[in-house]
Amino acid sequence: MHALVLAATEAGELRDGLAAIGAGLVYGLAAIGPGIGIGMVVSNAIQAMARQPEMAGPVRVTMFLGIAFTEALALFGFVLFFLAQG
Amino acid sequence: MTIGAFTFPPIDELFVWKEVLLEDTPVAVNKTAILMLVSAAVVTLLFVGGSRKTRLVPGRLQNLLEVTYEFVDRGIARDVIGPDGTRFTPFLGSLFLFILFTNVWSVIPFIQFPPTSRFGVPLFLALLTWVIYWYVGFRHHGIRYLTGHIFPAGVPKPLYVLVTPIELVQLLIVRPFSLAVRLLANMMAGHILLAALAMLTAYALTNAPLIALGPFVLNIGVMAFEILVGFLQAYIFTLLTAVYIGDSLHPAH
C-alpha cells in the first residue's frame, strides 16, 4: 500500500509536502512555551500592581523586559518558519 | 498563492529589494532607504525646529518634545541605567524616535510598509547597540568587564564549563541577534497580517460583499493594534539597549 502511494507521487512531491508541514508546525510549536511564559509574567505583574499600586511604574518596566525576553523564543520560531520554507 | 483574480505576493517578495532611484549604481536607493531617510529627516526637523525658540512656558510643539525627551530620560535612561544614564539619553532618544517613526509607516495609507521589516535595518541598529555596550564596558572596567561576565562570581568552579560558553555566546551573539529579530519579526508579522486581511477583503468584495465586512473591520482593528505594536517595539528596543548599557556600566556580578 505505502509502496503504491509512494510510486504514484512525483519525485520531490513528498519532500515538498513534508517541508510544508514542518514549516507550519515550527511556529505553532515555538509559540507554546512563550505563550505560557508571557501569561505568567503578565499575571504576576498585574498581581503585583494590584497589591502595590505605588510600585506600578517599576513593575511595568520589568514586565516589558520579561515579556521581551520570553517573546524572543517565539520570534526565533517565526524566523525559522521562513527558513524552513526555503 | 492565488485567490480568484488576486495574487498573494509570494513569501520571497519579503527578501527582494527593488531599486527605485539610481538603479545599478553602488548608491542605488530603494523604498526602504527612502522611507528611512524621510523618517530621520522628520525627527531631526521636529527637534531642531522645536528647540530653536525655547520658552519658559512651552507652546504645543515644545511641550510635546519635552514630554518625549523626559519619557526617554526619566522612564528609560535614569530608571534603568541609573543617575549617570542621562548622558546616554541623546542616543536612546534618537534610537527610540527613529524606530518609532520608521515603524509607523506600516499604517500610513498608500505606503503601508515598515522599513524595519527588512532585516538590514534592525540588524544595523542592534549592531550599533552592540558596539556601544562593549565599548562602555571596556572603557569603564577594562578586561574585567569580559572576565566578570563570563566567570560570574559565586558559581562553583566545575560549573564554569557550562556557564562560560553560555555567557560568552549571550554577550556576543544572542543579545544583538534577539534585539534585531524581535523588531524585525514583530513588524514583518504585522505587515503580513495587514496584507492578508486586505487581500481577503478585496476577494470577498467581488464574490460575497456581505462577508467582506468581517475582514474589513478586522483590518481596521489590526491597524490600530499595529500603531500600538510599533510604539511598543520602539520602547522595548530602547529599553533593552538601556539594560545592556546599564549592565556594562554597573555589572551586577
Q: Which pLDDT tens digit goes with each residue over A30-63?
A: 889 999 999 999 999 999 999 999 988 889 888 9
Q: Where are the alpha helices (DSSP H) in A9-55?
A: 13-51
Full domain range(s) for residue B97: 2-249
**Residue for grid cell 478586522:** B218
Query: According to the model, what pLDDT value does residue B202 have?
Result: 84
State the pLDDT at residue B8: 65
Distance from the Cα of A5 to chain B's closest Cα (Å) equals 26
Q: What is the CB neighbour count within 10 angstroms for residue B189?
A: 16
Chain A CB contacts of B243 under 8 Å are 65
| Residue of chain A nearest B183, judged by CA positions | A75
Q: Are B212 and B201 in contact (CB under 8 A)?
A: yes
In the beta sheet, which residues pair with residue B68? none
- pLDDT tens figures, A6-25: 666 777 788 888 888 888 88
Closest Cβ–Cβ partner in A58, A65, A75 for B185: A75
Q: Which pLDDT band holds residue B25 (cuts at 50, 70, 90)?
A: confident
Confidence (pLDDT) at B71? 93
Grid cell listed for B70: 523626559
Question: Higher-confidence residue: B54 or B98?
Answer: B98
CB contact under 8 A, B181 and A82: no
Cβ distance B80 to A61 less than 8 Å, yes or no, reads: yes
User: Does the beta-carbon distance from A68 to B75 stay under 8 Å?
Assistant: no
B114-142 per-position pLDDT tens digit: 999 888 899 999 999 999 999 999 999 98
Q: How many domains does chain B have?
A: 1
Contact B11 A65 (CB under 8 A): no
Give the pLDDT mean for B153-179. 89
**Do the beta carbons of residue B66 and residue B59 sit within 8 Å?**
no
Lowest mean pLDDT, pick from B17-26, B122-131, B156-165, B219-228: B17-26
Domain boundaries, chain A: 32-86
Q: pLDDT tens digits for B191-211? A: 888 888 888 888 888 888 888
Say which residue, B101 or B149, is predicted with more confidence. Answer: B101
In contact, A27 and A77? CB cutoff 8 Å? yes
Q: Searching chain B, which residue's CA lies closest to the CA of residue A60?
A: B75
The rounded distance, in Å, linking the Cα atoms of B28 and A48 is 52
Task: Give per-residue pLDDT as tens, B12-22.
Answer: 666 677 777 77
Q: CATH for A32-86? A: 1.20.20.10
- Are B14 and B188 spatial neighbours (Cβ–Cβ below 8 Å)? yes
pLDDT of residue B54: 77
Looking at residue A2, what is its pLDDT? Answer: 63
* Higher-scoring residue by pLDDT: A82, B247: B247
- With cell 506600516, the residue in question is B106
Answer whether A64 sits within 8 Å of B185, measured CB to CB: no
ipTM: 0.71
- Rounded Cα distance between B39 and B43, Å, is 6
Q: Which residues of B touch A79 (CB under 8 A)?
A: 181, 184-185
Across B174-187, average pLDDT: 91
Q: What is the pLDDT averaged over residues B185-189? A: 89
What pLDDT score was predicted for residue B139?
A: 92
- What is the interface size between A and B, counted as CB pairs within 8 Å? 38
Please check the confidence at residue B253 and state whether its pLDDT lies above 50: no
Checking DSSP bridges between strand B6-7 and strand B2-3, what pairing results, if any? antiparallel
Q: Which residues of B touch A58 (CB under 8 A)?
A: 79
